[in-house]
Amino acid sequence: FLAENVELPEACEKNGIVFIGPRSEAMRQLGDKISARNLAKKCHVPLTQGSEGVTSFGDVDAIVKEIGFPIIFKAALGGGGRGMRIVMETKELRNAFVMASNEALKAFGDATLLVEHYVPHARHVEVQILGDNYGRVIHLGQRDCSSQRRYQKVI
């Protein structure tokens, strides 16, 4: 999606065009799930248990022993549901890791994954906020994006 591509706001910023959306530095930091997790920790935002980036299956066992099943693999640089696999038990672990890392590499050019505790039946709620360069901020409401197919919002 062009709206999720950091090159769009960067090009607008370089050419003096007002981009209605996040600044490029915010997109860059939050588009990388590892740096987004680190920022959330720094701001004391509650998170599920999870890992830093993992590139080797050898690192997965220790992480899973610490956080327990179920887990989810997520592409560190991913979005749109690509590079994600839910794992309920040990026998699924290796195959899910290989599939998620291969998909992440193909889609994003980087096979790095996060391992996080998976929360079944969680809700996906987004809060819409709009601010300007003068400090004015308004809340545009919220939306429940829990209806998904293959990690993509349906409604």
Of 129, 126, 77, nearest to 106 by C-alpha is 77
What residue type is assigned to position 5 of the chain?
N
Residue 123: the pLDDT is 86
Stretch (H or E) spanning 138: strand 137-144
Residue 65: the pLDDT is 94
What is the Cα–Cα distance from 80 to 101, expressed in whole angstroms?
A: 15
Residue 78: the pLDDT is 81
What is the Cα–Cα distance from 41 to 45, expressed in whole angstroms?
A: 6
Extents of the domains making up the chain: 57-117, 123-155
CB of 87 closer than 8 Å to CB of 73: yes
Strand blocks (E) in 37-124: 71-75, 85-87, 113-117
What residue type is assigned to position 32 of the chain?
D
What is the Cα–Cα distance from 120 to 14, expressed in whole angstroms?
A: 43
List of the chain residues with pLDDT < 50: none
Residue 148: the pLDDT is 62
Q: Spelled out in words, what is the top-level CATH class assigned to the domain 57-117? A: alpha beta
Residue 120: the pLDDT is 93
pLDDT (tens digit, 9 = 90+) per residue, 110-151? 999 999 999 998 888 889 898 988 999 999 988 887 766 665
Residue 149: the pLDDT is 60
